[in-house]
Amino acid sequence: MSARQEKFTRQTITSLHTWTPSLFSFRCTRDAGFRFTAGQFARLGVRKANGSIVWRGYSMVSSPFDEFLDFFSIVVPSGEFTSELSKLAVGDEILIEKQAHGFLTLDRFIDGKNLWMLATGTGLAPFLSMLQDFEVWQRFERIVLVYSVRSAEELAYRDLLDEILTREYVAEYAHKFTFVPVVTREQVPGCLGARITDLLTSGELEQHVDLPMEAERSRVLLCGNPEMVEDCRMLLQQRDMQLSLTRKPGAVAVENYW
């Protein structure tokens, strides 16, 4: 057995959900020994027709306490990994490395009163995991999830968000939560219509939720399109909100994720 083989387990796809022709979710079994912190990602492997294995990192949508693992994926038609992943059916095998990875986790912040989660596309995944973990509700006074997509049909997981807020361990804290859907390529009632960077620059986002985003009280998690993440990071830097590093805690943590 190779070193690589010793690092993964073989799991089974148990359900699939198609959101749009280019977005889908899937659930698989979870090895009893697999542990992760909400916000982390797993390295998934799929076998190609020639027997080789392609690996990619995917954030968990599911809670660290669930007995299964949920993932959210885009389909890149020419993508070496997603083109294979999108062919999988219920009952098929998927490989998962035993070690979880990533630093888009709440322990990046040592303080802060208000938590902002800014996501584009499948970058929503780690925030859904966090919202299913008790820590975020207990720790912060306000929690704002901003989810930006191109079209209304891409606003995935609305039912899950609604359901999370009714769970017994969340219900008494649900008043802390504000969800801000953003649709950039069509006008949708109840949704903001500009890019996250433009909403930050204009101040519209903060006005919409009646909450300032500033270094003293606010902590910001960015996940999604690398261009969005970098542009937002630069805008926040102008507000004296720096990346949070192990040696120097700050106000911002990021993960590039399509």
pTM for this model (two decimals): 0.95
pLDDT at 77: 82
CATH number of the domain where residue 36 is located: 2.40.30.10
Question: Is the model's pLDDT at 3 over the cut of 60?
Answer: no
pLDDT in tens, 181-192: 999 999 999 999
DSSP 246: S
Residues 165, 90 share a domain: no
Residues 186, 138 share a domain: yes
Residues 121, 224 share a domain: yes
pLDDT in tens, 124-174: 999 999 999 999 999 999 999 999 999 999 999 999 999 999 999 999 999
Residues 110, 14 share a domain: no
Question: CA angle 198-218-177, nearest 5°?
Answer: 85
CA separation for the pair 240, 215 (Å, rounded): 6
pLDDT in tens, 7-57: 999 999 999 999 999 999 999 999 999 999 999 999 999 998 898 999 999
What is the number of structural domains in the chain? Answer: 2
Residues 113, 92 share a domain: no
- Residue where a domain stops, chosen among 97, 117, 139: 97
Residues 243, 139 share a domain: yes
Average pLDDT, rounded, for the chain: 95
Residues 117, 86 share a domain: no
**Domain limits at 133?**
106-256
Residues 112, 46 share a domain: no
CB atoms inside a 10 Å sphere around CB 257 = 26
- Residue where a domain stops, chosen among 97, 114, 149: 97
CA separation for the pair 176, 116 (Å, rounded): 12
User: Please, which pLDDT band fits residue 257 given cuts at 50, 70 and 90?
Assistant: low
